[in-house]
Structure 1
Amino acid sequence: MIVTVTLNPAIDISYRVNNFKINKGHRVENGNKTAGGKGLNVSRVLKQLGEHPHCLGFLGGSNGKWIKRQLEIEGLEGSFTQIKEETRTCLAFIDEENSTQTELMEKCPTVSEEEKEEFLETYQQQFKKATLIIASGSLPSWLDSSFYKDMSKLAKEQNIPFILDTSGEPLKLGIEGNPFLIKPNQEELTQFAGKELKTMEDMVEVAIRICNQGVQNVLLSLGEGGAILVRKDVILKANIPSIPVVNPVGSGDSMIAGMAYSINNNLVLEECLRMACACGMANAMEEKTGFVQSQMIKQLLKEINITSID
């Protein structure tokens, strides 16, 4: 069973507003309302691939109840830690006419020490069935930046692969927990390195250094440039075809889902990278976030070329 962790979920509501202007009223159609969070996007794609992921995280108030009901409607199971404060709401105003997107993101709810300990207890209870754990997204402000590091160490003690998809200080410290795989993009890897990474060689050099620190796999997502998978004994480059991009949001989460699915089904490394890229691309071709079509994945798998880098 694959376990996904979303520590900072939200109700995401998006409105399409042509010619959006500040200090002006706009009439809009009903907004698109979803249970948001990177780990939840990963879970959706995993389910579409045939897995039955188990979701963990914090939920509170009426918003938390709505998210839980929505996930049940989608057929996603979870063991969420209930908190006293209200789960946040995030608004997005999409202006297709001017190619802009304006977002209003509420501050995340505060979680007590008791609620945090309850979550960690629930997390460790999943070790009995978990074959792989995925932690995605930024850390809420009330959690110490080393929280992912601690989670990774707990999983490693049980020999459960831990995949981490985050950025900034949580990524830097999370690497110290020796996760099985991390998935930075070029911007996140540059931030980690503390210097500009201009070439593929520069990025691979930093990825190798991360592997030497104890991370088994570094998956570099390069957008239309494909992806690079780095580990101590091999470096693979995925070259991808051009596609019509409809909505790239959630493509990184879909990559993680494709990689996790492949690992969980014991595919060889080249096929793991191929599936990760196919899922990321398939998501980018859809209007919905965290949505892929199996037929499109099958087609894309044939068009992705994997090469080895010396």
Structure 2
Amino acid sequence: MIVTVTLNPAIDVSYRVPRFQIDKGHRVENGSKTAGGKGLNVSRVLKQLGSEPLCTGFLGGGSGAWIEKKLIDEELKHSFVQIDEETRTCLAMIDEHGGTQTELMEKGPVVNEQEIEKFQVSFKHLLEEATMVVASGSLPAGLPPDFYREIGEWARAANIPFLLDTSGKSLELGVEGKPFLIKPNKEELCQYTGKSDLTFQEMIDAAKGICAKGVEYVLISLGAEGALLVGHAITLRAEIPVVSVINPVGSGDSMVAGMAFALHNHYDSVECLRWACACGISNALQATTGTIDPQVVRKLLSQIKISTL
């Protein structure tokens, strides 16, 4: 069983606004409302690929109850820890004419010590059945900045692969937990290294440096330029076909899901990278975030060129 961790989920509300303008009022159709969070996107894609993931993290208040109902509707197994404060809401304004997306993301609830202890007990119990752990997204207030390092250490002690997709300080400290794989994009890798930009070779060198700290693989998503998979003994580059993107949001989460699915099925490194990219592309071809078409994924697999560097 793959356990996905979403510590700071949200109700995601998006509105499509033709010619969005600052300091102007806009009449819009009813917005779309989804149970959001990077880990929940990973869970949805895994479900669409035929896996049966279990979602965990923190939920609170009426917003948390709404998310839990949506997960039930989507037949996603879940075991969230209930907290006193309200789960956050995030708002996206999509300008179809201008091609822009403006997001307002609430910081989220503050998790207290008792709630953290409840999660620790619950998570360690889930590890007894887990075969893989995937943690994604930001940390809510109240959690120590090295919480992903702790999760990594618990998973490592249980001999369970841990995949981590986060950024900033959470990524920097999470690497210390020696996850099996991390998935930064170029911007996040730049932030990790403290540089404003990185050349292709510098990205590879940075990934090799992370592997030297105990991480097995670094999956670097590069948008239309494909991806890199860097390990101790391999460096693979994926070149992807040109497609007409509909909605790129969630493609990184879909890549993580594709990678987790392939690893869980014991595919080799080349096929794992191929599946990760195919799922990321398929998500970009869908209007709904965290959604793929398994048939499209399988068609895309043969169109992705993998080379060894």
The equivalences for 1:48-127 within 5 A come to 48-127=48-127
Counterpart of 2:226, as a letter, is: G
Distance in 1 of aligned mates of 2:203 and 2:181: 16
Distance in 2 of aligned mates of 1:24 and 1:76: 40
The equivalences for 1:242-281 within 5 A come to 242-281=242-281
Query: 1:272-297 CA distances to partner (integer Å, 9 max, x unpaired)?
Result: 01000000000011111011101111
Query: 1:244-282 CA distances to partner (integer Å, 9 max, x unpaired)?
Result: 111000000000000000010111111001000000000
1:106 Cα offset (Å): 2.2
Query: 1:96-121 CA distances to partner (integer Å, 9 max, x unpaired)?
Result: 12222222222311111000110111
Q: TM-score, normalised to structure 2's length? A: 0.98
- Counterpart position of 1:304: 304
Counterpart of 1:212, as a letter, is: A
Question: Which SS does the other structure have where 2:202 is aligned?
Answer: helix
Counterpart of 1:242, as a letter, is: V
- Counterpart position of 1:232: 232
Distance in 2 of aligned mates of 1:232 and 1:83: 40
Distance in 1 of aligned mates of 2:221 and 2:95: 27
Distance in 2 of aligned mates of 1:223 and 1:107: 26
Question: Which SS does the other structure have where 1:33 is aligned?
Answer: strand
1:89 Cα offset (Å): 1.1
1:300 Cα offset (Å): 0.6
Question: Which SS does the other structure have where 1:202 is aligned?
Answer: helix
- How big is the alpha-carbon RMSD for the aligned residues of Structure 1 and Structure 2? 1.0
- Counterpart position of 2:18: 18
Aligned sequence identity (%):
58
Question: Which SS does the other structure have where 1:282 is aligned?
Answer: helix
Name the count of aligned residue pairs. Answer: 309
Counterpart of 1:70, as a letter, is: K
- Counterpart position of 2:219: 219
Counterpart of 2:60, as a letter, is: G
Query: 1:122-171 CA distances to partner (integer Å, 9 max, x unpaired)?
Result: 11111111000000001123221100001100110010000000011110
Q: Which runs of 5+ in 2 are unaligned?
A: none
Contact 1:197–1:203 (CA<8 Å) still a contact in 2? no
Distance in 2 of aligned mates of 1:47 and 1:23: 41
Query: 1:189-245 CA distances to partner (integer Å, 9 max, x unpaired)?
Result: 111111244321110001001101100010111111111111111111111111111
Distance in 2 of aligned mates of 1:107 and 1:172: 20
- Counterpart position of 1:200: 200
More displaced stretch, 190-199 vs 44-53: 190-199
Contact 2:111–2:140 (CA<8 Å) still a contact in 1? no
Distance in 1 of aligned mates of 2:20 and 2:180: 44
Distance in 2 of aligned mates of 1:245 and 1:213: 36
Q: Which runs of 5+ in 1 are unaligned?
A: none
Counterpart of 1:190, as a letter, is: C
- Counterpart position of 1:183: 183
- Counterpart position of 2:285: 285
Counterpart of 2:4, as a letter, is: T
Distance in 2 of aligned mates of 1:263 and 1:87: 32
Distance in 1 of aligned mates of 2:148 and 2:169: 10
More displaced stretch, 141-150 vs 151-160: 141-150
- Counterpart position of 2:128: 128
Distance in 2 of aligned mates of 1:107 and 1:176: 25
The equivalences for 1:37-56 within 5 A come to 37-56=37-56
Distance in 2 of aligned mates of 1:195 and 1:24: 37
Distance in 1 of aligned mates of 2:222 and 2:50: 27
Distance in 2 of aligned mates of 1:236 and 1:97: 37
